Amino acid sequence: MFTLTMHPASEGDCLQLSWGDTQRLHHAIVDLGRTKNYKALAPKLRGLSNVELLVISHIDADHIEGAVPMVREASAPFVPADVWYNAYHHLEAAEKRQASKLHALGAQQAEKLSNGIDKFCWSWNRAFGADGIASVDTPLDGPLLLEGGLKITLLSPGDAELAALKPVWARELAAAKLRPFDPDETKPDAPSGLHPLSTLNVAALAAQPFERDRTEPNGSSIAFLAEYCGRVVLLGADAFPDVIERSLCAIGYSQTKRLKVDLFKISHHGSQRNTSPALLKLLDCTRFAISTDGSRHDHPDAPAIARILINDTARPKKLYFNFDQPNTKAWQRPEIKQAYSYDCIFPGKNETGLTIEI
């Protein structure tokens, strides 16, 4: 068994990978959504055994906020064998490796999760050796192997992305707050001036020029491939597409030698700035998962979905959404589904979140 569950996490992510046989399942938790999401999920997580990994992909509130009530609890709800989270001191170490001359800045409150990891005595970035930085620039002998046979290949971030976050960390978090939202994200108007969902002209949407995400916290996202029994999932966090492209090319993939991926959890909730035509061309993939309730940023963006559909018009595709909301429901139109050969999958009635067989 190998599944990805996209728990309800408002506009963010709270993902659970489960692998193994049903007698002995292993789990990785990736992000904890917002506070209310974690509180709703906590009874399910409490006592969960065989948690081989907890990843906090980056410091945006829609990924990390839920970790704060968790570490305030008297005892840890579960005991992860390792935690991957790049905190301020890791950024400094990455910067040193970059031999950069940026100035050091402080950020006290951002250390809440760091303190919590210490309080629970969890092992931290252990997989990455002495430096303990979850970075693709950490020398590793091939993919990491987790208990139960899950193979992980890190694709993002690099030391450059971590070093670039350092000044932002202080700026965003110095006021004793977690980063509340993506302040840099503004959306270009659709060329026609029409709302992109009003017509869903897939060809026109896909043809909009790609402009990449440049927000430093997203660039610092921990994104990776996870493989079990020959099945592969790409968990994109909110990573930059060019960083993932760079990593895939570094391990030998190209447009003529594409990576077979059974499920791609799209980066940044389907933002049009994080799903590039170039990245899609490196992947042999027909199943795409998107985590967002559409609040705050109106994700997923129609041009991102259009690029996915245009990239592979011939084969049947599946779009998995953990919320039935205006920006996802719009893709249910039968004429578009038929024209571009895809289907949409939503949580069932009375279900929260979506579990997908990888």
Q: Which residues here bind Zn ion, judged by CB under 5 A? A: 12, 62, 238
Dist CA 59 CA 172 (whole Å): 10
Residue 140 C-beta: closest distance to Zn ion, Å = 26
Backbone angles phi, psi at 344, to 5 degrees: -110, 140
Residue 103 burial by CB count (10 A; 0-12/13-18/19+): exposed, middle or buried? Answer: exposed
CA proximity to 148, closest of 357, 356, 1, 30: 1
Query: What letter represents residue 199's amino acid?
Result: T
Give the residue with the Cβ less far from Zn ion, 41 or 127: 41
Give the residue with the Cβ less far from Zn ion, 132 or 219: 219
Residue 118 C-beta: closest distance to Zn ion, Å = 25
CA proximity to 281, closest of 251, 308, 319, 250: 308
The single-letter DSSP state of residue 63 is: H
Place of tokens 């059974």: 262
Residue 324 C-beta: closest distance to Zn ion, Å = 19
Give the residue with the Cβ less far from Zn ion, 14 or 309: 14
CA proximity to 297, closest of 327, 330, 332, 265: 327
Residue 214 C-beta: closest distance to Zn ion, Å = 15
Place of tokens 């499920």: 263
The set of residues, in sequence order, having a beta carbon less than 8 Å from that of 148 and lying 6+ positions away, is 19, 20, 24, 25, 26, 50, 52
Give the residue with the Cβ less far from Zn ion, 12 or 300: 12
Residue 291 C-beta: closest distance to Zn ion, Å = 8
Give the residue with the Cβ less far from Zn ion, 35 or 201: 35
Backbone angles phi, psi at 134, to 5 degrees: -75, 90
Residue 212 C-beta: closest distance to Zn ion, Å = 16
Give the residue with the Cβ less far from Zn ion, 62 or 245: 62
Residue 63 C-beta: closest distance to Zn ion, Å = 5
Pairing of strands 342-345, 317-321: parallel
Report CA Rg, the chain: 19
Residue 227 C-beta: closest distance to Zn ion, Å = 24
Give the residue with the Cβ less far from Zn ion, 325 or 341: 325
- The strand pairing partners of 260, in sequence order, are 284
Give the residue with the Cβ less far from Zn ion, 151 or 212: 212
For residue 45, how far is the Cα from the chain centroid? 20
Query: What letter represents residue 358's amino acid?
Result: I
The structure tokens listed for 271 are 């933002």
Give the residue with the Cβ less far from Zn ion, 179 or 317: 179
Backbone angles phi, psi at 260, to 5 degrees: -80, 120
Residues shown for the chain: 358
Give the residue with the Cβ less far from Zn ion, 62 or 227: 62
- The distance in angstroms from the start CA to the end CA of the chain is 8
Q: Residues 308, 332: contact at Cβ < 8 Å? A: no
Residue 42 C-beta: closest distance to Zn ion, Å = 20
Residue 220 C-beta: closest distance to Zn ion, Å = 12
